[in-house]
Amino acid sequence: MTQDAMKTQDAMKTQDTMKSQDTIHLSDANFSAEISKANAGPILVDFWATWCGPCRMVAPILDKLAAEMKGKARIGKLDVDANPATAAQFGIQSIPTLLVFKDGKQVEQMVGARSREEISQMLTRHLG
């Protein structure tokens, strides 16, 4: 297999791990509306990029949490390369960066790949 073919295959795998039916695809266009939704509970936003190895490690954890927290909290993902304005607005310099928003306001931040337990605890603190 050529290196180009391997890169294409890796990119396809990355795209598959970065999407889930229970996560919300965020963009510069819909970010404010999604984090400000009333009565939707807190939203954890994953600032990531397709080329980011640690982001790929966190993606399946977030996908599982999105399914488990459905109805209580939401998980959103924002590709920093495709949506630089929002990333800049929040001063994102390292990825993955996880921000929790409640009632439209940022309430917590975590930088770097973390364990499922750490991420779950961070989100759970803001339920209710």
Residues 6+ apart with CB under 8 A from 102: 41, 42, 43, 126
Distances (CA, A) of 121 to 6, 50, 66, 68, 112: 37, 26, 14, 13, 15
Catalytic residue, chosen from 18, 44, 52, 59, is: 52
Residues 6+ apart with CB under 8 A from 18: 48, 50, 55, 56, 59, 77, 79
110 is written with which tokens?
């975590």
Angle at the Cα of 121 (from 117 to 127), degrees rounded to 5? 145
Catalytic residue, chosen from 55, 66, 73, 113, is: 55
Q: Is 52 a catalytic residue?
A: yes
Q: Is 55 a catalytic residue?
A: yes
Catalytic residues: 52, 55
